[in-house]
Amino acid sequence: MVKIDSKTRFIGLLGYPLGHSFSPIMQNAAFKSKNINIVYIALEVKPQDLETVVKAIPKMNFAGFNVTIPYKIEIMKYLDETDDLAKFIGAVNTVAIKDGKMKGYNTDGIGFLRSLEEHLNIKPDGKNIFILGSGGASRAISMTLAMNRARKIYICNRTFEKAEALVADINKRCGQISQVVPMNNERMAEAISEADILINTTSVGTHPDVDDIPIDKDLLHSNLAVCDVVYNPRKTKLLLVAEKLGCKIMSGLGMLIFQGAEAFEIWTGVEAPANTMFEAAEAFYNHSV
């Protein structure tokens, strides 16, 4: 951690309950490596105290904060300004404080995109993308992909109406840059056969149900890049099966690190030391996840 003195500023992580989080470990490693006098601290805030805490934060020496479950939507009503992408997504995970004003951003989708570029050398432009799930993670990723000129985005959900609602929202907010199609399990084979990238945003495959897989494995093909937002385990059953088929694969850990790297850059204006953040997260991971 940096040496704390009278000039030290803070970044908080607001959520409830917080449990184990990678963010304090990786952000403090990043501030130290760049010699920036900021300390990142976890702030577990009960729902009835959220308003009081959020209104007090800009009155103290905070440079900003991250927001996690369950406050990513509720926080928006307390902010002075919200970045366009966060408005489209309808959720904020990062807040920067400047001259006492709070501005909200959403770095989850950008984190996914940076991980895709850094780890798999893939850009979304012109790609056909098949997304499983239509919850919060799917929303951040699909909106960001649509804003970054993906060709076609299929959104497949167990509850079809939720896929339809997300598709309608993307079309309304992102000006139909990409063709976005809702999908149910019956029609997925053809869509996956023409997809370049498949992304699991459901919780299927996470601990303790590590043998679960969110789709029929016979639908996978070796031209697919297969990505999972699940990072526990590091390689889900979906990724293990895809890897065996010769697919490029990407774990959810990359998205987690790069959403943090993006937030670091918003707070400091300094390029994030992504490798340092990865090493810190991996060390934490090996000990506690």
* From 49-57, 104-112, 134-142, 186-194, span contacting ligand ATR (CB under 6 A): 134-142
Question: Which of 27, 94, 107, 134: binder of ligand ATR (CB under 6 A)?
Answer: 134
User: First vs last Cα of the chain: how many Å apart?
Assistant: 22
The reply on whether position 34 binds ligand ATR by CB under 6 A is no
Contact positions with ligand ATR (CB under 6 A) in 183-202: 201-202
Q: Is 250 exposed, middle or buried (0-12, 13-18, 19+ CB in 10 A)?
A: buried
Q: Which residue in 53, 79, 136, 151 binds ligand ATR (CB under 6 A)?
A: 136
| CB 70, min distance to ligand ATR, A | 10
What contacts 42, CB < 8 A, 6 or more positions away?
12, 13, 18, 21, 23, 24
- Per-residue interface string for the shown chain with ligand ATR, residues 151-180, x marking contact by CB under 6 A: ------xxx--x------------------
DSSP letters, 175-229, are TTSSEEEEE-GGGHHHHHHT-SEEEE-SSTT-TT-TT--SS-GGG--TT-EEEES
Out of 133, 182, 260, 273, name the contact with ligand ATR by CB under 6 A: 133
Spatial separation of the C-alpha atoms in residues 234 and 282, rounded to whole Å:
10
Assess 32 for contact with ligand ATR (CB under 6 A).
no
* Distance of closest approach, residue 140 Cβ to ligand ATR, in angstroms: 8
Judged by beta carbon, residue 8 or residue 136, the one nearer ligand ATR is 136
Using CB under 6 A, count the residues that bind ligand ATR: 14
Nearer to ligand ATR, 90 or 135 (CB): 135
Structure tokens at 65: 């904060």
The nearest distance, CB 138 to ligand ATR, in angstroms, is 6
88: amino acid identity, one letter: F
Nearer residue to ligand ATR within complex by CB, 33 or 203 = 203
Residue of 86, 204, 257, 281 that binds ligand ATR (CB under 6 A): 204
Task: Just list the catalytic residues.
Answer: 72
- CA–chain centroid gap for 5, Å, is 33
Q: Are β-strands 94-98 and 62-67 bridged in parallel, bridged antiparallel, or unpaired? A: antiparallel
Nearer to ligand ATR, 30 or 113 (CB): 113
* Residue with Cβ nearer ligand ATR (41 or 76): 76
Residue with tokens 């299929």: 154
Please give the C-alpha separations between residue 206 and each of 251, 267, 285, in angstroms, as whole numbers.
12, 31, 15
CA-angle at 129, arms to 244 and 285, nearest 5°: 55
Q: 142 or 178, CB closer to ligand ATR?
A: 142
Distance, CA of 277 to chain centre:
15
CA atoms within 13 Å, Cβ hemisphere of 22: 26
Per rule CB under 6 A, is residue 137 in the interface with ligand ATR? yes
- For the bound state, the minimum distance from the C-beta of residue 277 to ligand ATR, rounded and expressed in Å, comes to 21
Cβ 228 to ligand ATR shortest distance, Å: 12
- Which residues contribute to the site for ligand ATR (CB under 6 A)? 133-138, 157-159, 162, 201-204
